Amino acid sequence: MINNLLLAAMEWIGTIAFAVSGSLVAISCGLDLFGVLTVGCITATGGGMLRDIILGNIPPSIFSNTHILLVALLTSLLVFIIAYVNAKRFNGLREKIDTINILFDAIGLAVFSLTGVEIAHGMGVSSDVVLSITAGVLSGVGGGVLRDVLVNEKPYILIKHIYAIASVFGSSAYYVLSVCWGYKIFGTIICVFFVLFIRLMAAKYHWRLPKIKLDREETVSK
């Protein structure tokens, strides 16, 4: 009973956090009301849909648990209304809004990373370590990838601060502590801490994975 309540609470927290994050990105990109609602909902539910697909849960649970979709929709609408009413202040607070967006995005990433692993465990595939952790990572980063595609941006997880790696660490920690050893509450705390710490520190100190820098003009001319 306690585990079910904890999982439900985590889903609500993650849904609200990602809906806020997705809506703020959509507003910053100049999308209209429908665009903001669409991007907000996709950011909040897209990762869960991708997770369900790889776990063979067809159709994805979002279509039966419509209350989650409603929460995402109402959250996105609320963010749009607040931004619309305070449009002048919104334009002047871009830096603070970016910080808020990073915080909510990190919360959603942390919460959905653990719920993805837990749902995989509930479906009886916890013996498959790779699949369980992949389910956690997809739950955490999938919505953000779909969000970036919708607003015509390169997926954030592929080019900027350490993101997916935080989800991998968090999902792995939750798998070991909760699924393998049975410490669900402790595993939840550690997973959330790991992901939040890595994600927020990466954003603050601009931690990045190494990449090859190419001269674009020279590459194009060749």
Kindly state the average pLDDT of the residues 151-176: 90
Q: Provide the pLDDT confidence category of residue 213 given band limits of 50, 70 and 90.
A: confident
Distance CA 108, CA 46 (A): 12
* Position 127 in a domain: yes
Closest CA to 18 of 41, 44, 53, 50: 44
* Residue span of the structural domain in which 62 resides: 2-208
- The residue among 136 and 213 whose pLDDT is bigger is 136
Name the pTM for this structure. 0.89
Tell me what pLDDT residue 216 has: 62
Kindly state the average pLDDT of the residues 132-147: 96
Choose the weakest-confidence range: 21-35, 90-104, 115-129, 201-215.
90-104
N-to-C CA span, the chain: 63
* Position 137 in a domain: yes
Statement: residue 110 has pLDDT above 70: yes
Tell me what pLDDT residue 131 has: 96
Tell me what pLDDT residue 218 has: 52
Distance CA 48, CA 60 (A): 8
* Position 219 in a domain: no
* Position 213 in a domain: no
Task: Count up the domains in the chain and report the number.
Answer: 1
Tokens for 145, please give them. Answer: 């990838």
Q: Provide the pLDDT confidence category of residue 211 given band limits of 50, 70 and 90.
A: confident
Q: Provide the pLDDT confidence category of residue 2 given band limits of 50, 70 and 90.
A: very low
Closest CA to 39 of 55, 53, 26: 26
* Position 50 in a domain: yes
* Position 125 in a domain: yes
Closest CA to 196 of 133, 111, 119, 98: 111
Choose the weakest-confidence range: 1-10, 37-46, 106-115, 141-150.
1-10
The string of pLDDT tens digits covering residues 61-105 is 999 888 999 999 999 999 999 999 988 877 777 778 888 889 999
* Position 203 in a domain: yes
Q: Give percent above pLDDT 90 in the chain.
A: 69
Kindly state the average pLDDT of the residues 192-221: 82
* Position 63 in a domain: yes
Tell me what pLDDT residue 149 has: 95
